Amino acid sequence: MILAAFWFFATLMLLFGVSVLVLKNPVSCAMSLVMSFICLAGLFVTLDATFIGVIQVLVYAGAVMVLFLFIIMLLDLREEKSRRLNFGATLGGLLVVASFLSILTQVILTNPAFAIPTPTLEGPPVSDVKMIGMTLFHSFRLPFEIIGVLLLSATVGVIVLSRRTLR
């Protein structure tokens, strides 16, 4: 059943991911990205990582993408005009993708680390919220605080920059 859920969410996610690129209307693209994030959250939930799944929806689908949509609507972007495919560019793109994929498969097939299957979780079920909390705020206290200061300085920087343009 979990396998079926995996394939369901994975296929849907990829489909919406492709439609982000293919669709012409910017709002449709943004909404496809939202759906793709929600499907990703579904994948996390099938792996018993409920907390990460919920955070995925809360942060990416619920906050970041709303701002994207907001800006797309405010700028009033027109629908993309369909362009004629440039033969050389298409060929180059396909070549790059093909070579990347071939290198990737080679690495996966030859590296012994990928041959060992991950052991299944044993013991009583653990609370993922607690585990993440302990990892972030206990084991990785210092890096976490440094990131916090970094984000704060970025926020302050944005405010300073926007003030200057106002004057």
Partner 1 sequence: MDTALILHFLTTPLVFLIWTTFLKTFILLNVVLGVVSVTVFAERKVSAFIQDRTGPNRVGIPMTLLGGKKDIPFWGLGQMIADPVKLLTKENFVPAGVNKFFFWLAPKLVLLPPLLVLAVLPFGSSLFGVEMTIANINAGVLFIFAVTSLSVYGITIAGWASNSKFPFIGGIRSSSQMISYELALGLSIIPIFMVCGTLNINEIIDWQIKNGWLVAPYWPHGFSLGQLLHPHDLIHSLVAGVSLERFLLWIPLMISFVIFLVSIFAETNRLPFDLPEAEQELVGGYHTEYSSMNFASFFLGEYAAMFAGSGAIVSIFLGGWSLPIIPDGSQGWFWGLVNIGVWFAKVSVILLFMIWIRWTLPRFRYDQLMKLGWLGFFPIALFNIFLTAVILAVVHH
Which residues here bind partner 1, judged by CB under 8 A? 25, 27-28, 31, 34, 50-51, 54-55, 57-58, 61-63, 66-67, 69-70, 73-74, 127-129
Pick the closer one to partner 1 by CB: 102 or 135: 135
> How far, in Å, CA of 42 to CA of 56, rounded?
9
Q: Which is nearer to partner 1, 36 or 95 (CB)?
A: 36
Least gap, CB of 164 to partner 1 (angstroms): 21
Name the minimum Å distance from CB 51 to partner 1.
Answer: 5
Q: Which is nearer to partner 1, 17 or 28 (CB)?
A: 28
Give the ranges where the chain is alpha helix by DSSP (H): 2-22, 26-46, 50-55, 65-75, 87-110, 128-134, 141-166
CA dihedral of 54, 59, 62, 68, whole degrees rounded to 10: -150
Query: 47 or 66, CB closer to partner 1?
Result: 66
Least spacing, CB of residue 159 vs partner 1, in Å: 13
Rounded distance between C-alpha atoms, residue 163 and residue 31, angstroms: 32
The span from the CA of 167 to the CA of 156, in Å, is: 17
